[in-house]
């Protein structure tokens, strides 16, 4: 059955828009076939270890004997009252705070500078990105040597007459976490710089030019045009920074192993110390479950309140 239109003499028939062709839906079997390898790897390396950790966390277990001493939620109750775990959690919160308040703004500032036109821009991009490329273990060893009592930092202070400022940076409880935060910021800001630089280069030039023609200042252009345009990238960077801070391990473990007296421990270094040094693998598994749970909560909050809104805004913009 076809649609017809009535016309009078001398009139051209009106054009009738054809209805859009229905989208073909892939059969469920085809979708599952393509998803199967990824789902299998995810189940093997994520779901199965997490389920195993949940089971272990319900036992008092030294890692060698059979799982016979079922204690239920005792490991979790102990965790809630453990002052050492509280300190580790606060250290993770400190890393999150420095990452959001210092690392990301510094990365955005440097990316803004690198987005300009000047000689040697490519060299500076490489220099700022190099720390992220260096393996975390290698970076930790380098900084451990620099911050040692006879290391390069104290040597430089001695050379300029500031010998009274020399310290055992990784051996004093009041200083060690600050040193770790400096190293973490140095290590990862290059990644976020590259992330922001990529976003800045995708901002439409005509929008910036329109702002200049309207008499907007640089600060106003950045606030009302540039930053909203890179907002999704900034939110992704914040999410990655939070999750990475919760799971921080390599740098701290190699530099300080969580010491001295737990002053620089994070939740993951505390978990490893509880399992490998104290042979309390059931308790360490409870710590692992808590870390995974916190990361999952952050991911779900990001999915619910941030990613969903960004996707909705993107869909409206494409209409």
Domain ranges (residues) in the chain? 78-291
Please say if the pLDDT value at position 234 is more than 50: yes
Q: What is the mean pLDDT of the chain?
A: 87
d(CA 239, CA 306): 10
Give pLDDT, residue 108: 93
Per-residue pLDDT tens digits for 137-167: 999 999 999 999 999 999 999 999 888 899 9
Q: Mean pLDDT across the stretch 91-97? A: 96
CATH architecture assignment, domain 78-291: Orthogonal Bundle (1.10)
Please say if the pLDDT value at position 91 is more than 80: yes
Give pLDDT, residue 215: 86
d(CA 147, CA 131): 17
d(CA 235, CA 308): 12
Please say if the pLDDT value at position 4 is more than 50: no
pLDDT category of residue 3 using cuts at 50, 70 and 90: very low
Per-residue pLDDT tens digits for 116-126: 877 877 888 88
Q: Is 37 exposed, middle or buried (0-12, 13-18, 19+ CB in 10 A)?
A: exposed
Q: Is the peptide bond before 314 cis (omega within 30 degrees of 0)?
A: no
Q: Mean pLDDT across the stretch 30-51? A: 91
Please say if the pLDDT value at position 313 is more than 80: no
Q: Mean pLDDT across the stretch 53-80? A: 91
Ramachandran bin of 168, using left for φ above 0, alpha for ψ from -120 to 50, beta for the remaining angles: beta
Least confident of 12-26, 65-79, 249-263, 291-305: 12-26
Question: Nearest to residue 28, comparing CAs of 36, 20, 19, 38?
Answer: 36
Per-residue pLDDT tens digits for 177-225: 999 999 999 999 999 999 999 999 888 888 888 888 888 888 888 888 8
Query: What are the angstrom distances between the C-alpha of 166 and each of 34, 143, 205?
Result: 59, 16, 50
Give pLDDT, residue 169: 93
Q: At what angle do helices 231-246 and 308-317 cross, to 10 degrees?
A: 160
| Percentage, residues of the chain above pLDDT 70 | 89
Q: Mean pLDDT across the stretch 83-107? A: 95
Give pLDDT, residue 13: 52
pLDDT category of residue 2 using cuts at 50, 70 and 90: very low
209 versus 97: which is more confidently predicted? 97
Give pLDDT, residue 25: 62
Please say if the pLDDT value at position 318 is more than 70: no
């Amino acid at each position: 059955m076809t649609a017809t239109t009535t016309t009078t003499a001398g009139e051209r028939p009106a054009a009738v828009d054809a209805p859009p062709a229905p989208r073909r839906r892939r059969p469920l079997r085809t979708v599952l076939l393509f998803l199967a390898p990824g789902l299998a790897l995810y189940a093997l390396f994520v779901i199965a270890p997490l389920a195993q950790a949940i089971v272990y966390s319900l036992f008092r277990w030294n890692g060698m004997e059979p799982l016979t001493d079922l204690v239920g939620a005792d490991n979790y109750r102990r965790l809630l009252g453990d002052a050492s775990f509280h300190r580790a959690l606060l250290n993770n919160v400190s890393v999150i705070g420095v990452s959001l308040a210092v690392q990301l703004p510094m990365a955005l500032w440097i990316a803004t500078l690198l987005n300009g036109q000047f000689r040697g821009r490519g060299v500076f991009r490489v220099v700022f990105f190099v720390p992220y490329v260096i393996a975390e273990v290698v970076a930790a060893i380098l900084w451990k040597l620099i911050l040692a009592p006879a290391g390069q930092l104290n040597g430089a202070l001695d050379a300029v007459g500031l010998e009274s400022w020399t310290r055992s940076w990784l051996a004093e409880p009041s200083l060690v976490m600050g040193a770790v935060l400096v190293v973490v910021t140095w290590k990862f800001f290059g990644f976020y710089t590259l992330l922001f630089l990529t976003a800045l280069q995708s901002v439409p030039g005509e929008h910036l030019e329109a702002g200049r023609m309207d008499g907007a200042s640089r600060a106003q252009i950045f606030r009302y045009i540039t930053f909203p345009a890179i907002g999704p990238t900034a939110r992704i960077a914040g999410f990655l920074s939070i999750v990475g801070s919760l799971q921080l391990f390599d740098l701290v473990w190699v530099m300080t192993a969580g010491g001295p007296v737990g002053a620089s421990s994070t939740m993951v270094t505390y978990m490893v110390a509880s399992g490998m040094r104290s042979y309390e693998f059931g308790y360490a598994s409870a710590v692992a479950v808590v870390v995974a749970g916190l990361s999952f909560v952050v991911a779900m909050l990001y999915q619910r309140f941030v990613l969903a809104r960004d996707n909705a805004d993107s869909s409206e913009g494409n209409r």
